[in-house]
Amino acid sequence: MSKPLFEKIALVGIGLIGSSLARVICREGLAGHIAIATRSAETLKRAEELKLGDGYTTDAKEAVRGADLVVVSVPVGGSGAVAEVIAPALTTGAILTDVGSTKVSVIARMQPFVPEGVHFIPGHPLAGTEKSGPDAGFAELFENRWCIFTPLEGTDPAALEKLSEFWRRCGSHIDTMEPQHHDMTMAIVSHLPHMIAYNIVGTADDLETATKNKVIKYSATGFRDFTRLASSDPTMWRDVCLNNRDAILEMLARFSEDLAYLQRALRWCQGDKLFDFFTRTRAIRRSIIVAGQDVDVPDFGRQALRNLPLTQE
Ligand code: NAP
């Protein structure tokens, strides 16, 4: 077997993303040693039962000692506190990365604590599901998905290449972006759809009981697809919203304007306008399939992909 890419990888946070990483690192032999740290004793016990690593601790500082790669996979609001705790134990020359869904705020939270000589490279794998916790992860999560880096000025190219190689071996394609550009892009492709889904499901929940029962009964007509997004982890999504507030508010404003356009077209029975709009949006779905980011089957691949990721958070 060839030499592992890293001698010791520390995974701080072992939920959906951290445990998926643990599984693929193990499958691909990417680390000589996998150290796992999580906040609670219960999650740690579960990670140990699932045999996700080689060492387990609730002390993140202990886990990162001697690691040449540290991956922080916690809700973005917690990333600064984690960086503060682990900073004194980070090894010179180590790569420190994260998987947070927002980048500007994560950089602002973590960077001040990163010691000289540690390569901090913020990252975001665009792969996820609505599930959370160590049981939810699977080794194939990152396959054929994008992993975006938002490198800081002066990032060591060799460290960036090594981290890119790591994610490629996890199955991902790599892209780099400015942090602001990343956050604006995610606001439209991921954060806005989640806000809309939370809102639609919330509206249905407010309906009177008789109507609500019918909504559940006939949910396969469209509502069901929103419920999947709207069942995503509340802590993660609270943090995403608060940490990408400006970009999400901007997208919500544009969304409201476009919705008003549709509302007006409907009020005035302007079928041509509705038809043209729906034709334009249909083409977007086709381009997503052509780009290999979804499959063209009536159930959106739910059966075919079983547990494989359907979202790009
Ligand atoms: P998750 O399944 O809920 O797991 C969260 C992990 O972080 C657990 O180990 C948890 O520890 C720990 N944690 C929670 N709050 C913490 C805090 N305040 N301080 C320190 N540790 C804390 O979450 P996930 O889905 O893996 O998401 C992790 C990160 O990946 C988030 O930043 C998210 O934005 C990003 N991301 C998520 C997705 C997705 O679809 N889920 C996709 C791409 C990126 P305990 O259980 O021990 O409390």
What pLDDT is attached to residue 110? 98
What pLDDT is attached to residue 308? 46
What pLDDT is attached to residue 145? 96
What pLDDT is attached to residue 305? 44
pLDDT along the chain (313 residues), means of 10: 90 98 98 98 98 98 98 98 98 98 98 98 96 97 97 97 98 98 96 96 89 85 90 96 97 96 98 96 89 70 46 52
What pLDDT is attached to residue 220? 81
What pLDDT is attached to residue 3? 87
What pLDDT is attached to residue 211? 86
181-306 adopts what CATH topology?
A: 6-phosphogluconate dehydrogenase C-terminal fold (1.10.3660)
Catalogue the long-range contacts made by 180-183 (C-beta closer than 8 Å, 24 or more residues apart): 180/104, 182/103, 182/104, 182/124, 182/148, 182/150, 183/102, 183/103, 183/104, 183/244, 183/247
Q: Answer yes or no: is the C-beta of 40 below 6 A from any ligand 1 atom.
A: yes
Q: Answer yes or no: is the C-beta of 101 below 6 A from any ligand 1 atom.
A: yes
pTM: 0.92
| Ligand 1 atom with the shortest distance to the CA of 14 | 9
d(CA 127, CA 194): 15
What pLDDT is attached to residue 68? 98
Q: 6-177 in CATH: which number?
A: 3.40.50.720
Q: Answer yes or no: is the C-beta of 148 below 6 A from any ligand 1 atom.
A: no
How far is the centre of ligand 1, averaged over its atoms, from the C-alpha of 158 (Å)?
Answer: 28
The reply to whether 6-177 and 181-306 are identical in fold is no
| Ligand 1 atom with the shortest distance to the CA of 128 | 40
Place of tokens 């981290």: 163
What pLDDT is attached to residue 297? 66
Domain boundaries of the chain, sorted by first residue: 6-177, 181-306
Q: Answer yes or no: is the C-beta of 244 below 6 A from any ligand 1 atom.
A: no
What pLDDT is attached to residue 2? 74
DSSP string of 18-57, one letter each residue? HHHHHHHHHHHT-EEEEEEE-SSHHHHHHHHHTT--SEEE
| Ligand 1 atom with the shortest distance to the CA of 240 | 34
What pLDDT is attached to residue 79? 98
C-beta separation of 84 from 110 below 8 A? no
Residue nearest to atom 17 of ligand 1 (CA): 78
What pLDDT is attached to residue 298? 58
What pLDDT is attached to residue 53? 98
